Amino acid sequence: MAPDQINIAIAGAGLMGRLLAWCLSNKGHQITLFDSGTLEKPTGACHTAAGMISPLSELFHCPPPIYQLGLQSLQHWPQWATQLEQQTGIPVDYRQKGSILVAHPQDRNELLQFQQELNAKLPPENQNQLQWLEHQTLQNLEPDLDRFDQGLYLGPEADIDNRKLLPALREAIAQNQVTLRENTQVDCEENTIVTATSRESFDLVIDTRGLGAREQIQGLRGVRGEVMVVETPEVHLHRPVRLLHPRYQLYAVPRANNQTVIGATEIESDDLSPISLRSTMELSSALYSIHPAFAEARVIETRVNCRPATMDNLPVVQSSPGLIRVNGLFRHGYLLAPTLVQQVETQIEMITDKQVTPCN
């Protein structure tokens, strides 16, 4: 290893852990990646997610830093997606075609309220990121949304197929000769990974265990989310669509093979038990109200997981000598991950600069 390359342990091979392992191994660092499960069958929130990269939609629900960090991430995803596809040959289906919000005529105020609230939060120079769509323009973009008169178009938004991205990252990490330690539950201390049977030393430990680090991150909590995957050849959407409704919200993210991911509930709970009947009914009926042909869609899969969230719903990057913890990605892991990876890389550069600076 060159003097500015170090021996790093990453705990947790979810979204953050995999991305960091890939990016840091690309820079020549020696990486060991630990996970309590396997990389082939991930159990973290990353596996359940819908993969939307949606800074504007999130600005409606969340504090403004999420939007700013998300816009920075959007600059990295296209290049990362291409680089990963070239390295592994696995398409990750990154798509930046914007997203569309619709509401039924009786709920039109929901769209107006969304627009007003977003415009109040957006810097004036970015207010053109949000556009009204009248019936014909909406039809041109999404012919199957023909029962809606109007919509809102959020131009910069993107999405990625996480069920392809995660295996692609697994493959890329293996090619980069990252050492994998699967089925290994760990604790993280400064410069040390603690397993049931050993204490192992590293130049740096990065803790990306999501909810597995609950005892180390003050106030970290789980927020249950339920999604369904349905399949029908009858409806063709080309980008994520959100339905605004006074009582529940729905997104529908089209995927390959006539599949659509629909979600998601947001319940203050750590409960990982299967999807409830109520959530199934609410998601299904909201979807059916977008297009009646969804009634005959087949339910391919239901997924449940808990998002790792801090008390203010903002991510944390905590740094102490020999230990960095990244957590609290909540409902925006895919939105924020590239910016957070960059923040970690900057901290590592500061550490290695100190190490290689000759003493006078």
Ligand X SMILES: Cc1cc2nc3c(=O)[nH]c(=O)nc-3n(C[C@H](O)[C@H](O)[C@H](O)COP(=O)(O)OP(=O)(O)OC[C@H]3O[C@@H](n4cnc5c(N)ncnc54)[C@H](O)[C@@H]3O)c2cc1C
Please state the closest distance from residue 117 (CB atom) to ligand X, in A. 20
Helices (H), the chain: 15-26, 45-48, 55-61, 64-88, 108-121, 135-141, 162-175, 277-290, 333-356
CA–CA dist 352, 360 (Å, integer): 17
Cis peptide bond N-terminal to 9, omega within 30:
no
Please state the closest distance from residue 203 (CB atom) to ligand X, in A. 19
State which residue, 29 or 242, has the beta carbon closest to ligand X: 242
CA dihedral 210, 49, 169, 18 (to 10 degrees): -10
37: nearest Cα among 147, 181, 202: 181
Please state the closest distance from residue 355 (CB atom) to ligand X, in A. 27
State which residue, 170 or 291, has the beta carbon closest to ligand X: 170
Distance from the first to the final alpha carbon of the chain: 24
State which residue, 63 or 292, has the beta carbon closest to ligand X: 63
Please state the closest distance from residue 136 (CB atom) to ligand X, in A. 29
Furthest CA-CA distance within the chain: 75
Tokens, residue 18: 């995999």
> In the beta sheet, which residues pair with residue 254?
260
- In sequence order, the 6+-apart residues with CB closer than 8 A to the CB of 185 are 36, 195, 196
CA–CA dist 110, 132 (Å, integer): 13
Please state the closest distance from residue 236 (CB atom) to ligand X, in A. 21
State which residue, 138 or 329, has the beta carbon closest to ligand X: 329
Question: Which residues contact ligand X by CB under 6 A?
Answer: 11-17, 34-37, 42-46, 48-52, 185-186, 208-210, 212, 225, 227, 263-264, 305, 307-308, 327, 329-335
Phi then psi dihedrals of residue 2, to 5 deg: -70, 160
Please state the closest distance from residue 84 (CB atom) to ligand X, in A. 17
- In sequence order, the 6+-apart residues with CB closer than 8 A to the CB of 348 are 6, 8, 24, 29, 204
State which residue, 287 or 352, has the beta carbon closest to ligand X: 287
Please state the closest distance from residue 357 (CB atom) to ligand X, in A. 32
State which residue, 335 or 352, has the beta carbon closest to ligand X: 335
State which residue, 162 or 352, has the beta carbon closest to ligand X: 162
State which residue, 206 or 352, has the beta carbon closest to ligand X: 206
Please state the closest distance from residue 247 (CB atom) to ligand X, in A. 19
> How do 158-159 and 187-189 pair as beta strands?
unpaired
